[in-house]
C-alpha cells in the first residue's frame, strides 16, 4: 500500500526503540574484528549524515515503507540479477536484500550468448506492498511494462507479467491502490508514443491507467494528465484526501536546458502536481526541489517520500549528472520535507524563493541504529553469491561455481562472442568511445560490484591462476563507460604473462608468471586510478599507466573479475578468486566474528 497519511503511530516508535536497543546489545556481545567506520558521506556516527547518503551507482530509486522498515529499489539496466533491493531502519544506513529479477528472462538479448542488451533491461521502477504481497513494476524500453510479485521481499519473485507493449509506453511506471474507492492505478511516461495533434505542449506525455485490483492487468486506454519537457518518474500519493503526483522535469521556461545537453543552467527539477478533486485532476503544479548550490552542477530530482515515527517527512532522491564529476554513477540523497500551504518543500529553501534545495548534511531522521552499508568484501564462503555482485548480462551458469572449490569463486572461460551486429554493444550505445568492438564487451560472465564514493578507494583480490589454459585471459576489471584490465594472458604454448589492457583494447604485456598465486590491487583518487600486482600479497608493484575511470551511458565505475578465451570454448580454462576486499572513504559496517 502506498503512503496515504502522515504516520504518527506511537507503537511503531516504541518498536523502533526496542529494535535499536536489541541491535546495540547484540553488537556489544559480539566479538568485533573491525569497528564500523564513517567517511566523507552517509552516517557520521554523531546523529548527523552527509549527502549523498548512498554514494554509489544506485539510480532511479523508489521507496516503500512497511512498518518500521524502508525498502528501496534502483535500476541497473542489463546487469543480472536485475533491480537491486535494499532496506533500512533509519533512511540513512542501507543494506542489500536481493534483486527483483534473478535473470533478465524476458528477452534473448540479455543472455550470455548474445550480450547485446546494453543500456536496456531494468529501468526506473516502482515497489509496492499490497494486501500482503510485494509488487515491482518496471518498463523495459525494448519490451514494455511488466510486473513481478513475491510474498517475501527476499523472494522468490515471479516471472514477469507483461502488461503493456513498448509501442504504447516509454518508461517510469508508478502504482497506487485507493482503498476508499477500490480502484488501482498506474501512471506512465508514454513520451510521444500516443501523442495526438490536439496536444501542442512540447515534451513527454504522462498517462494514468486503471489496473485490476490484483495489479496485473490494465483495464482502460489511459488518460493524459500532464505533459512537460523531460517530464517523467512520477509517483502517486494520497495524503489527507488530497492527490499528489511527484514528477521530475527538465525544462521549466528555459528552452536551453534540454535533457542530455551539458549546460550550466541545466537543472532537472522536482515538481508536485496537487488535486483535491480526483486522481485525474485538475492539478495545480509547483516546483518543490531544484539543484541549489551544494552539488555544483548536479540536478536533484526523482525519488520517494517517507515518514519517520516522530511525524517528520523525508524524501530520497538521486543526483543527475550535468557535468564531468560523477564517475561513480547516480547516488542517493536524503532531504527533510517541510509542508507549506499544503505543498511539500524538499530540502532547505536557501534562496527564499519558495523552492527547496538539497542539503549538504543534516540530522538523522531516526537514531539508535548502527552504521552499516551495502556489502562489498567477500570471502566466497557461502554457496550463494552475495547481493552486491551482478553479472554483465545473464551469466552462463555452467561456467561459474561457488561449490566446485568451496571457499572460492570459480570463473570458467567461454570463447568470446563474435564481433558482429548481433553481439555486444553498438558504437556509443554503451561505451564512451569507439572501442565498443573490444572483446571485453562480448565476454560472458564478467562479475562486478559498484564503486563507492568519489574521493579514494582501494580494492584487492587474490587469484589462483593454476587452472588457466592457452589463449585465456582473466583477472581484475574496472569498468563503466570504459574498461581497464589487469590480469594474466596465456599464449598458445601455455606461457603466462601479466598484462594491462586499456579501453581501446591496447595491451601492455608484463613479466612471465610461473607461480599459482596472483594478487591485484587497484586504487583511485577521484577519477584517477592505478593497478598493482603481487605474488605474495605483501610486496606490490605498479603496472600499467594511471588511467581515468569514467561514467558511461548512465552507469558508474565498477570493480570485478573477467575470464574469457580468444579461440576455444572447449577446455577454455578457469580462474579461482579466493577473496575480495574494498576499503573506501565512506560508511562500512562493523565486522564481527562468525
**Is 370 a domain residue?**
no
User: In sequence order, what are the beta bridge partners of 49?
Assistant: 43, 362
- Residue bearing the bigger pLDDT, 254 or 583: 583
Residues taking part in catalysis: 60, 232
pLDDT (tens digit, 9 = 90+) per residue, 517-537? 999 999 999 999 999 999 999
Across 18-22, 231-235, 554-558, 588-592, the highest mean pLDDT is recorded for 231-235
DSSP 8-state symbol, 588: B
Q: Are 436 and 530 part of one and the same domain?
A: yes
Phi then psi for residue 571, to 5 deg, are 50, 50
- Give pLDDT, residue 267: 85
pLDDT in tens, 486-524: 999 999 999 999 999 999 999 999 999 999 999 999 999
Residue 13 confidence (pLDDT)? 35
Q: How high does pLDDT run on average in the chain?
A: 92
What's the pLDDT at 25? 38
Tell me what percent of the chain is helix, strand and coil, each rounded to the nearest 5.
5, 45, 50
Residue 371 lies in a domain: no
User: How many Cα atoms within 13 Å fall on the side-chain side of residue 436?
Assistant: 20
In percent, the amount of the chain with pLDDT more than 70 equals: 92
Whether 65 and 175 map to the same domain: the answer is: yes
Residues 319 and 405 reside in one and the same domain: no
φ, ψ for residue 530, nearest 5 deg? -140, 160
How far CA 345 is from CA of 9, 42, 124, 240, in Å, comes to 23, 22, 23, 17
Whether 130 is in a domain gets the answer yes
CATH code at 552? Answer: 2.60.120.200
pLDDT of residue 260: 62
Q: Which domain holds residue 82?
A: 10-363
Quick one: pLDDT at residue 536?
97
pLDDT tier, 133 (very low <50, low <70, confident <90, very high otherwise): very high
How far is the C-alpha of 347 from the C-alpha of 110, rounded, in Å? 39
At 76-132, the pLDDT tens digits run 999 999 999 999 999 999 999 999 999 999 999 999 999 999 999 999 999 999 999
State CA 331 to chain mean position distance. Answer: 8
- Report yes or no on 33 lying in a domain: yes
d(CA 173, CA 152) in angstroms, rounded, equals 22
Q: Is residue 181 part of a domain?
A: yes
% of the chain at pLDDT higher than 90: 83
Say whether the peptide bond before residue 52 is cis (omega within 30 degrees of 0): yes
In a domain, 372, yes or no: no
Give me the CATH number covering residue 351: 2.115.10.20
Residues 359 and 433 in one domain: no
Domain end call among 347, 363, 379: 363
In angstroms, the CA 479 to CA 90 distance is 32
Residue 272 in domain: yes
- What pLDDT is attached to residue 583? 97
Shared domain for 350 and 408, answered yes or no, is no
How many whole angstroms separate alpha carbon 277 and alpha carbon 274? 9
Per-residue model confidence (pLDDT) at position 4: 43
User: Do residues 184 and 292 both lie within one domain?
Assistant: yes
99: enclosing H helix or E strand: strand 95-101
Any domain includes 21: yes
Report pLDDT digits (tens) over 286-302.
999 999 999 887 888 89
pLDDT exceeds cutoff 90 at 11? no
My answer on whether 213 and 357 are in the same domain is: yes
Distance in angstroms (rounded) separating the CA atoms of residues 99 and 433: 30
User: How is residue 24 written as a grid cell?
Assistant: 546495540
Whether residues 359 and 431 share a domain: the answer is no
pLDDT of residue 18: 41
Q: Is the pTM of this model over 0.85?
A: yes
Amino acid at each position: 500500500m502506498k503512503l496515504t497519511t502522515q504516520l504518527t503511530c506511537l507503537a511503531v516508535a516504541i518498536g523502533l526503540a526496542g529494535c535499536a536497543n536489541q541491535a546495540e546489545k547484540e553488537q556489544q556481545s559480539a566479538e568485533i574484528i573491525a569497528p564500523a567506520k564513517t567517511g566523507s558521506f552517509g552516517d557520521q556516527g554523531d546523529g548527523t549524515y552527509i549527502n549523498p547518503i548512498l554514494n554509489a551507482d544506485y539510480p532511479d530509486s523508489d521507496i516503500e515503507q512497511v512498518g518500521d522498515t524502508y525498502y528501496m529499489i534502483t535500476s541497473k539496466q542489463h546487469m543480472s540479477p536485475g533491480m537491486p533491493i535494499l532496506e533500512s531502519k533509519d533512511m540513512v544506513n542501507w543494506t542489500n536484500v536481493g534483486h527483483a529479477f534473478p535473470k533478465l528472462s524476458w528477452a534473448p538479448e540479455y543472455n550470455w550468448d548474445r550480450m547485446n542488451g546494453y543500456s536496456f533491461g531494468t529501468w526506473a521502477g516502482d515497489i509496492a506492498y499490497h494486501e500482503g504481497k510485494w509488487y515491482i513494476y518496471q518498463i523495459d524500453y525494448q519490451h514494455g511494462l511488466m510486473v513481478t510479485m513475491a510474498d517475501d521481499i527476499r523472494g522468490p519473485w515471479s516471472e514477469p507479467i507483461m502488461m503493456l507493449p513498448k509501442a504504447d509506453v516509454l518508461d517510469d511506471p508508478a502504482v497506487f491502490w485507493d482503498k476508499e474507492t477500490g480502484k488501482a492505478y498506474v501512471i506512465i511516461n508514454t513520451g510521444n508514443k500516443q501523442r495526438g495533434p490536439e496536444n501542442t505542449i512540447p515534451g513527454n506525455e504522462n498517462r494514468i491507467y486503471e489496473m485490476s485490483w490484483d495489479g496485473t492487468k490494465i483495464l482502460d486506454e489511459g488518460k493524459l494528465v500532464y505533459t512537460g519537457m523531460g517530464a517523467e518518474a512520477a509517483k502517486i500519493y494520497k495524503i489527507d484526501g488530497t492527490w499528489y503526483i511527484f514528477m521530475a522535469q527538465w525544462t521549466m521556461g528555459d528552452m536551453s536546458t534540454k535533457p542530455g545537453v551539458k549546460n550550466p543552467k541545466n537543472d532537472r527539477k522536482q515538481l508536485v502536481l496537487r488535486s483535491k478533486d480526483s486522481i485525474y485532476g485538475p492539478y495545480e503544479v509547483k516546483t518543490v526541489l531544484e539543484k541549489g548550490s551544494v552539488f555544483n552542477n548536479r540536478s536533484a530530482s526523482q525519488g520517494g517520500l517517507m515518514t519517520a515515527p516522530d511525524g517528520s517527512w523525508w524524501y530520497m532522491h538521486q543526483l543527475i549528472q550535468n557535468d564531468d564529476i560523477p564517475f561513480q554513477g547516480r547516488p542517493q540523497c536524503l532531504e527533510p520535507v517541510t509542508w507549506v500551504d499544503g505543498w511539500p518543500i524538499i530540502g532547505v529553501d536557501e534562496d527564499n524563493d519558495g523552492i527547496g534545495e538539497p542539503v549538504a548534511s543534516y540530522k538523522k531522521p531516526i537514531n539508535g541504529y548502527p552504521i552499516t552499508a551495502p556489502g562489498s568484501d567477500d570471502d566466497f564462503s557461502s554457496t550463494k553469491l552475495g547481493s552486491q555482485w551482478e553479472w554483465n548480462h545473464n551469466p552462463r551458469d555452467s561456467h561459474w561455481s561457488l561449490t566446485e572449490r568451496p571457499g572460492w569463486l570459480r570463473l570458467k572461460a567461454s570463447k568470446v562472442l563474435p564481433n558482429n551486429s548481433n553481439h555486444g554493444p553498438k558504437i556509443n550505445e554503451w561505451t564512451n568511445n569507439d572501442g565498443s568492438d573490444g572483446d571485453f564487451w562480448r565476454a560472458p560472465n564478467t562479475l562486478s560490484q559498484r564503486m563507492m564514493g568519489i574521493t579514494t578507494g582501494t580494492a584487492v583480490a587474490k587469484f589462483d591462476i593454476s587452472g588457466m589454459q592457452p589463449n585465456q585471459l582473466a583477472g581484475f576489471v574496472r569498468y563503466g563507460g570504459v574498461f581497464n584490465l589487469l590480469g594474466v594472458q596465456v599464449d598458445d604454448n601455455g606461457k603466462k604473462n601479466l598484462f594491462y589492457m586499456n579501453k581501446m583494447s591496447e595491451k601492455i604485456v608484463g613479466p612471465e608468471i610461473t607461480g599459482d598465486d596472483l594478487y591485484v590491487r587497484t586504487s583511485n583518487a577521484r577519477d584517477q586510478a592505478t593497478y598493482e600486482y603481487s605474488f605474495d600479497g605483501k610486496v606490490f608493484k605498479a603496472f600499467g599507466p594511471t588511467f581515468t575511470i569514467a561514467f558511461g551511458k548512465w552507469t558508474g565505475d565498477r570493480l570485478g573479475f573477467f575470464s574469457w578465451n580468444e579461440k576455444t570454448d572447449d577446455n577454455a580454462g578457469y580462474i579461482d578468486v579466493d577473496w575480495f576486499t574494498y576499503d573506501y572513504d565512506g560508511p562500512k559496517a562493523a565486522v564481527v566474528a562468525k
